[in-house]
Amino acid sequence: MASTTDLRVSNLFSLKGYVCLVTGGGTGIGLMATQALAANGAKVYITGRRKEVLEKAAKEHDPASDGSQQGGQIIPVGPCDVTKKADLEKLCKEIESKEKHLSLVVAAAGISGAKGPPDTSDAEKLKETLWQEDPEEWSATWNTDVTSVFFSTVAFLPLLQRAPSDQAKSVIVISSMSGMMRHSQAHFSYNAAKAATVHLTRMMSKEFAKTGVRVNSIAPGYFPSEMTMKESDERNKAHMPDEKVKDKGHEVPAGRSGTDEEMAMAVVFLSRCGYVNGEIVKLDGGVLNEVGS
């Protein structure tokens, strides 16, 4: 039975002693997740394809850089291309040489894929526009947004299983609201891939349950990131103005993009609550209430 003191937020959501890995952890939502975990005491390894981006993220956002004595650490590892099994195997060995276990893996690496707006009722024009999409780009989107999520999870299952029993060991997959709506948003390949990622999360949660590792997903709506805004600032951060959100062809009830703080709340909740498994947390400002499938 919990005492009142046990139910303090600082106790409920402390991540001290947690060892985490975030793929795509140098920018965007991956960096938001990294900051949230480190701010609450976790040691967070971040990886991605660009070593300089990882090092910059660690330098700019490690809790110690803000003078905090309570936070954890941000440690760049790799680089690692998560679409390559050899890179994942190398990364796994590198982390095993440093740690006895992992408490959490956040699969945040992703790309947006080709864009082909189907804004016409003329079938000939529609074909002309969409036929120009490259099957290799579709494959690249699928490999990054779906296949790599599967292999990134599988690669680290043994390390996750070794986590102490008092840690709610898990995987958090960053999917998207785009995989849960009928609208293509002019991104057929991306939305199809994210729909697969959503279902992959559910399958992994069921099939991996016997290992004791939970698998959940966050399906973000409009959040500022290098992928959505095509650039990052000097701190690897991006900004999404309100007018950008209001011009989406459908209503965004919140009227704005999501914030770092809101993403952090979802990440920390799924990291700590061991009674949640196989869930897709829609962090979308209400969009799927309007245009969900």
pLDDT tens-digit profile of 10-55? Answer: 999 999 999 999 999 999 999 999 999 999 999 999 999 999 999 9
Catalytic residue among 43, 194, 237, 282: 194
Q: Say whether 165 is catalytic.
A: no
Q: Say whether 175 is catalytic.
A: yes
Catalytic residue among 43, 45, 169, 190: 190
- The per-residue pLDDT for 229 is 63
Q: How far apart are the first and last CA of the chain?
A: 41
For 182-205, what is the mean pLDDT? 93
DSSP characters over 4-55: TGGGSHHHHT--TT-EEEEETTTSHHHHHHHHHHHHTT-EEEEE-S-HHHHH
Q: Domains in the chain and their CATH numbers? A: 13-291 (3.40.50.720)
Does this model's pTM top 0.85? My answer is yes
Rounded Cα distance between 153 and 155, Å, is 6
**Binning pLDDT at 50, 70 and 90, where does residue 140 land?**
very high
Rounded Cα distance between 76 and 90, Å, is 14
- The per-residue pLDDT for 165 is 93
**Which residues does 91 contact at the CB level (< 8 Å), separation at least 6?**
47, 77, 78, 80, 155
Catalytic residue among 112, 148, 170, 175: 175
Helix, strand and coil content of the chain, in percent to the nearest 5, comes to 45, 10, 40
Q: Say whether 194 is catalytic.
A: yes
